Amino acid sequence: MRRFCPLASGSSGNSVFFQDNDTKLLIDAGISAKKIKERLFLLDVDISDIDAILITHEHMDHIEGLKVLYKDIPVICNSETAKGIYNTLLVKPQFKIFSSNEPFEFKNLKFFPFSIQHDTLDPVGYTIETFDNIKFGFCTDLGFVNAIITNILSNCNYLYLEANHQEELVFLSKRAEIYKKRVLSRSGHLSNTQCANLLSKIYNKCLKHVFLAHLSKECNSEARSKKVINELLKSQDIKINIDVAKADAISKIVNFC
């Protein structure tokens, strides 16, 4: 069985389940271990089947579940993120440490952890490639997309990308000014328009599915994000199969082959 499925997405917690036959992974564990186990159960997966947890950065909405899961499941991350996990949770998982921007292999998969711009110690996104060259891109929590990231995410077959907010809704929100400046900064989060512009640059005919991720509950919505992004893509004659990752439940299961 080959599939992936977001278990949670947004400021309340982030986690994605990824399976390539016998290899089962979590990308981030930002909800409670209890919720992760419950949502994996809906996919007929037991937590004991998870081979490793890849962590993008040490913010709590990406590591919450490690409070419990660190005891039994290896955690794959860079050294700065490992320090951040320990300093935040005061736990020492069985770390498997990589160097950012250097490829590594785990079981039957190839990974490339690439640096992104966010207000944490050493945040990364990931590409994952299977033995038969199916390429996945996972990239959220970044305030700015440069040419390097654009190039890394090109030629993907499946994408999980941030579409956090609509800029005018951030300005109109009742959030504190410091929050607004952070979200809109180069160390913050991608807007719908920024996500659409990125998709237009990395689109290819082999791109089968895109998940929009990490939507703000207050400054975005599923309908708005899809409308803004689809309209911009349509203006460039681009049509992509797009879904939105749910905040508090499992999302659509995407099978790949």
pLDDT tens for the chain, residues 1 to 257:
999 999 999 999 999 999 999 999 999 999 999 999 999 999 999 999 999 999 999 999 999 999 999 999 999 999 999 999 999 999 999 999 999 999 999 999 999 999 999 999 999 999 999 999 999 999 999 999 999 999 999 999 999 999 999 989 888 888 889 878 888 888 889 999 999 999 999 999 999 999 999 999 999 999 999 999 999 999 999 999 999 999 999 999 999 98
Burial of residue 86 (CB within 10 Å: 0-12, 13-18, 19+) is middle
Looking up tokens 């992760």, which residue turns up? 36
Residue 183, pLDDT score: 83
Could you give the CA distance from residue 166 to residue 225 in angstroms, rounded to a whole number?
A: 8
Could you give the CA distance from residue 56 to residue 60 in angstroms, rounded to a whole number?
A: 11
Q: What are the structure tokens assigned to 152, written together? A: 């890394």
Write down the number of H helices and E strands in the chain. 9, 14
Could you give the CA distance from residue 208 to residue 110 in angstroms, rounded to a whole number?
A: 20
Q: What are the structure tokens assigned to 215, written together? A: 């939507």
Q: Show the domains of the chain with their CATH numbers.
A: 2-247 (3.60.15.10)
Residue 108, pLDDT score: 95
CA 253 to the chain's CA centroid: 15
Type of residue found at 183: V
Beta-bridge partners for 2: 20
Asked whether 27 and 16 are in contact (CB, 8 A), the reply is yes
Beta-bridge partners for 126: 113, 138
Q: What are the structure tokens assigned to 159, written together? A: 């994408």
Question: Cβ atoms within 10 A of the Cβ of 64, count?
Answer: 25
Minimal CA–CA distance to 125: which of 107, 108, 106, 146?
146
Could you give the CA distance from residue 195 to residue 193 in angstroms, rounded to a whole number?
A: 5
Residue 257, pLDDT score: 86
Cβ contacts of 100 within 8 Å, gap of 6 or more: 78, 113, 114, 115, 122, 124
Residue 24, pLDDT score: 98
Residue 169, pLDDT score: 86
Q: pTM of the full predicted structure?
A: 0.96
Q: Kindly list the distances between the CA atom of residue 255 and the CA atoms of 124, 134, 162, 234, in Å, as whole numbers in the listed order.
A: 25, 12, 21, 26
